[in-house]
Structure 1
Amino acid sequence: MHIPRLSTAVSLLLLISSTTSTPLAQVNPSQNALTLVTLPTSQLLACLEPLGAKVLTSNDPKYNEERFVFDLRYTYLPQVIVMASSVSDVQTAVKCAAASKVAVAPRSGGHSYEGYSIGGQDGSLVIDLGGFTSVTVMNGVAKVGAGIRLGKLYLELFNQGGYTLNAGTCPSVGIGGHALGGGFGLLGPKYGLLIDRITEMQVVNAQGQLLTVSATSNPDLFYALRGAGGGSYGVVTEFTILPIKPASVVTSYSYNWKLEDYAAVLGAFADFQLLVSDDIGIKLNVGPKGLRMSGLFEGTNDDQLKAMAPFFAQVPKPERSDVREGRYIDAQLRLASIPNDPKDINALLLKVDPLARKGKSLVYPKALKASSIALLGKWAAIKPNGARVTFFLVTIWGGAVAKVPENSTAFIHRNAHSVIEFMVDWTKDPNTHGEDCEACLEWMNDMYTEFLDDFRTNYGPVRGYQNYIDLEIPNWQDAYYGSALPRLKQIKRAVDPENTFRFPQSIPLQ
């Protein structure tokens, strides 16, 4: 069993527990093997008592179920998980955690690649926002609960006037972390990032106060939350967003090529936005089975084919193609990668089972060079023993993303060309919490080392996308936040001087 970074914590907690009157740890027999469980102090439990059954500790049968909501790899042990359903719940939880010097981890969808949604370390207090799922659209403005998942959000926006958002395609992602890290999707070239549509937020700060945050109210915090807000500054409970009215007819599509065609396809794909209009959103999946390009176009099938003709003139004929014309909500369903190609848009509500996985990223400031394309072809052909899925997801940015001044938000990648997500996963078995696939991790590390060398040679300082958070990325503070970091630290000191909102890659005080 793999229990990340526990050895030092075990020794320290055992030493402390031998010198205090309050027990800090116990063995939890419900686990598959002997593990350390950090128990909340009597002070913390007494403070949280008004929340009643919303407070889950290791003695509660629901505790483990709520720990493993996305990634089976990480086995961090929160002191408490608070299943909040009101702003006052969040305020109480934050005040109690601060009084007990316990780190707070807000959780929207729980999709952190490093397990930060359960603290990223033992002993945190997790505030689950799954009770904040309301959506109200009035006069072209949407009020959105910070715990809603994108699939449900898309359905609600569609049902309340045919609206949508320029957010991601994975329906199980929570809007909270997605938006606060920038939030890009297939409408990005035309409408920018999700943070560019957010006009206001309701935020519980480290003192338990509810703040209205916007360009005119707490503007420094508004700046920080849009790009660096994932768990470092407070708990966002509601977003005010300007939704998008998509075209009445859109075309969704997918095209497949053999992996041996990678050089020609990736070469043309790198120049895609130079060849076609910003009306086209696109992503390219590269893996052992080949290349799959998918996306959408705001317009008819005929217009989509005309717009993409310059791209297809440069690539081999696809092995397969699937082009469909229809409503935008149907395109969202199709692009959600739900098994069996469902026809009912309510399938956007399906829950995704947790996996054991590891992800990384690199943000490229300019079009991919031949050396980078060669690495994609080389490593896509290698599938490690034990891996369920390996892939590289290449997404073009540009367009409206670059039209917002870089210093207006904490998102530093405005002028980037594209981002590559590197991914391997290896099990869906819920009985294998914490078990690693060593061959998978070796593949990831060896592959990423080559990409890093290539990146430094051809593109400059390493840059990564903060929503694909990675503990091992070199110089993570610079990679994710660059020149924005001094201001982000200053804001952190002002709004959270005791560092209540902290995890291994939270914005530091110094």
Structure 2
Amino acid sequence: MELGRRTILKLAGAVPAMAAVPAAIPEGGGPWERLRAGLAGELFRPGDPGYDEARLGFFSLYDHRLPHGVAVCANEDDVRRCVDFAARHRVPIAARSGGHSYAGYSTVDKGLVVDLSRLNAIEILPGGRAAIGAGAVLGQVYETLAAAGRALPAGSCPSVGIAGLTLGGGIGVLGRKYGLTCDSVESVRFVGADGKLRLVSAETAPDLLWALRGGGGGNFGIVTSFTFRTAAARTLTNFGLTFPPAVLAALVAAWQEWQPAMPDELWSGMGLGPTAVNCGGCFVGRAAQLNPLLDDLVRRVGTQPLTRDVTEQRNLATMRAFAEETNFPAAVAQRGEYVSTSRMLTHPVPDPDALASLLTSDPYLYSIIDAYGGAIARVPSSESCFPHRSALGSIQVTRGLDGGEAYARQAIGRVRDELGREYGQAGYINYIDAEMPHWAKAYYGESLPRLRRVARKYDPDGVFAFEQGLAR
């Protein structure tokens, strides 16, 4: 799952921009002031009060980046004006929702950050649908939907933005039952590279809707809001099993046979590291139904867990539990101090002992394996560009910054590349890694040629080009 960042920080010890094209206008001057005057929201420039706070994303690694402007948009027309400004003056532009880009692409150096945080309205619509602004974060989404008795399959970190998560796919604890977050998208409101606002749906622009369902944040244009299909909120049972470190390989061997045989209602993941051997998850149903399934997993592992927690509760309480929050705060002060990469588990692990050695080869590594299958695997490629439907799961490899950033990236890179030799080059775009080899093929697989055609059609001049963008 797209885990709560505090979980990673605790256990590990510890959207996107035009490629580097020099701005045709200087940092200062009239065009920026005209942009400021035309916005209903605020434009923060270097030297303005509040600029140093407005420019920051989630990860402190990118605090050295200095945008020429951060536009905190008040409405869709502000977004349109920003895109028009960037296209006209050849200024790098990046949309920012939650600001959690692992590569820091939503903090564009010497460019324009389009901050969507005020476009965060959530409206419950007839027929179990919800209109959600692109600036909403998951904590807000879960609280509002729960009040209406609805649920949406999404991630677990409450400060992650709905936009970036959805556009890259969106894995989470309800995924095997209800699919990826992008699978629930019915339509979007979208500002294209031409500066025009349009409704994107299966009727109006089926190729673009296909691409926005998993094509990654920062490509094609800026989504200002989504309309989702939601599910009726159900009683959920979340669980956590903690095993001795010595049984890491045995847990992996047992889990990869057990999880695919489980009903769609059961999702699980593993947290693995030198001192962490955990399996946790969520069951759409009652604890009495879940416990025999967990007994089966424990039997397969062959070792009793050190701890076993099974909690039956409402949907919202479960989301709070996975976020490690009793309530979702309006803002999360803690920032990211780690690096991350990913691979897809395209087939079962042939040598669990070798995997255990790899994942414990550095004392600060922590890896998260998330289950796929179920509803995720049943969405046809004609409906969504997400290319990893047949995977057993994904593995996110994280490391704290002990020893420095360069050393940390080298450590996760060794694991990434070794995994690539066994499972192929695929990775998950929402865990974007600036050093991912053959990144376009890794993130988009067989969808890549069609995605590039969509990018050329809707962004022919590369307004939304960036280092790992489709419009390059």
TM-score normalised over the length of structure 1 = 0.84
Amino acid at match of 2:290: Q
Cα RMSD (Å): 2.1
**C-alpha distance in 2 between matches for 1:468 and 1:251:** 27
Contact 2:298/2:305, CA 8 A, preserved across alignment: no
Q: Aligned match of 1:347 in 314, 328, 332?
A: 328
Q: Tell me whether 256-265 or 285-294 shows the greater mean CA deviation.
A: 285-294
Q: Does 1:73 align with 2:61?
A: yes
**C-alpha distance in 1 between matches for 2:211 and 2:125:** 27
Contact 1:380/1:392, CA 8 A, preserved across alignment: no
What SS does the aligned partner of 2:277 have?
strand
Aligned pairs (5 A) from 1:288-367: 288-315=274-301, 316-338=303-325, 342=326, 346-347=327-328, 349-367=330-348
**C-alpha distance in 2 between matches for 1:98 and 1:41:** 17
Amino acid at match of 1:57: R
What is the aligned partner in structure 1 of residue 31 from structure 2? 43
What is the aligned partner in structure 1 of residue 418 from structure 2? 453
State the 1:324 CA deviation: 1.0
State the 1:68 CA deviation: 2.0
Larger Rg: 1
Check 1:307–1:486 CA distance in 2 against 1; reply closer, same or farther (3 A cut): same
State the 1:443 CA deviation: 4.6
Check 1:147–1:252 CA distance in 2 against 1; reply closer, same or farther (3 A cut): same
Check 1:396–1:131 CA distance in 2 against 1; reply closer, same or farther (3 A cut): same
- Cα displacement string for residues 168-217 of structure 1 (whole angstroms, at most 9, x for unaligned residues): 11111000000000011111111111111100000011111111101111
Q: Aligned match of 1:101 in 72, 90, 99?
A: 90
**C-alpha distance in 2 between matches for 1:156 and 1:226:** 23
Q: Tell me whether 82-91 or 320-329 shows the greater mean CA deviation.
A: 320-329
**C-alpha distance in 1 between matches for 2:354 and 2:399:** 19
Check 1:294–1:352 CA distance in 2 against 1; reply closer, same or farther (3 A cut): farther
Q: Aligned match of 1:391 in 355, 366, 375?
A: 366
Q: Tell me whether 170-179 or 354-363 shows the greater mean CA deviation.
A: 354-363
What is the aligned partner in structure 1 of residue 12 from structure 2? none
State the 1:504 CA deviation: 0.9
**C-alpha distance in 2 between matches for 1:376 and 1:172:** 31
| Structure 2, gaps ≥5 residues long | 1-19
State the 1:350 CA deviation: 4.8
Check 1:78–1:136 CA distance in 2 against 1; reply closer, same or farther (3 A cut): same
State the 1:141 CA deviation: 0.9
State the 1:380 CA deviation: 2.8
Q: Tell me whether 93-102 or 288-297 shows the greater mean CA deviation.
A: 288-297
**C-alpha distance in 2 between matches for 1:169 and 1:309:** 26
What is the aligned partner in structure 2 of residue 417 from structure 1? 392
State the 1:334 CA deviation: 0.6
Contact 1:182/1:227, CA 8 A, preserved across alignment: yes
Aligned pairs (5 A) from 1:7-18: none
**C-alpha distance in 1 between matches for 2:35 and 2:330:** 35
What SS does the aligned partner of 1:362 have?
strand
What SS does the aligned partner of 1:406 have?
coil
Contact 2:40/2:75, CA 8 A, preserved across alignment: no
State the 1:332 CA deviation: 0.8
What SS does the aligned partner of 1:153 have?
helix
Amino acid at match of 1:449: R
Aligned pairs (5 A) from 1:165-180: 165-180=152-167
Contact 2:260/2:373, CA 8 A, preserved across alignment: no
What is the aligned partner in structure 2 of residue 258 from structure 1? 244
What SS does the aligned partner of 1:92 have?
helix
What is the aligned partner in structure 2 of residue 223 from structure 1? 210
Aligned pairs (5 A) from 1:469-508: 469-508=432-471
Contact 1:276/1:311, CA 8 A, preserved across alignment: no
What SS does the aligned partner of 1:118 have?
coil
Q: Does 1:270 align with 2:256?
A: yes
What is the aligned partner in structure 2 of residue 112 from structure 1? 101
**C-alpha distance in 2 between matches for 1:333 and 1:175:** 16
Check 1:302–1:377 CA distance in 2 against 1; reply closer, same or farther (3 A cut): farther
Q: Aligned match of 1:285 in 253, 271, 274?
A: 271
Question: Which structure has the higher relative contact order (CA within 8 Å, separation 6+)?
Answer: 2
State the 1:414 CA deviation: 1.1
State the 1:391 CA deviation: 1.1
What is the aligned partner in structure 1 of residue 8 from structure 2? none
Once the two structures are aligned, what percentage of the paired residues are identical? 32
Contact 1:151/1:172, CA 8 A, preserved across alignment: yes
Check 1:500–1:41 CA distance in 2 against 1; reply closer, same or farther (3 A cut): farther
What SS does the aligned partner of 2:396 have?
strand
State the 1:378 CA deviation: 4.3
Contact 2:381/2:387, CA 8 A, preserved across alignment: yes
Amino acid at match of 2:360: A
Contact 1:254/1:323, CA 8 A, preserved across alignment: yes
What SS does the aligned partner of 1:313 have?
helix
Q: Aligned match of 1:236 in 206, 223, 230?
A: 223
Check 1:115–1:313 CA distance in 2 against 1; reply closer, same or farther (3 A cut): same
**C-alpha distance in 1 between matches for 2:412 and 2:69:** 37
Amino acid at match of 2:51: Y
State the 1:319 CA deviation: 0.4
Contact 1:93/1:127, CA 8 A, preserved across alignment: yes
State the 1:309 CA deviation: 2.8
Contact 1:357/1:424, CA 8 A, preserved across alignment: yes
State the 1:283 CA deviation: 1.5
Contact 2:138/2:159, CA 8 A, preserved across alignment: yes
What is the aligned partner in structure 1 of residue 13 from structure 2? none
Check 1:209–1:67 CA distance in 2 against 1; reply closer, same or farther (3 A cut): same
**C-alpha distance in 2 between matches for 1:503 and 1:394:** 29
What is the aligned partner in structure 1 of residue 189 from structure 2? 202
**C-alpha distance in 2 between matches for 1:207 and 1:439:** 42
Check 1:127–1:40 CA distance in 2 against 1; reply closer, same or farther (3 A cut): farther
**C-alpha distance in 1 between matches for 2:175 and 2:218:** 24
- Cα displacement string for residues 356-414 of structure 1 (whole angstroms, at most 9, x for unaligned residues): 3211000121122215x533444336325xxxxx4101101111111011243221111
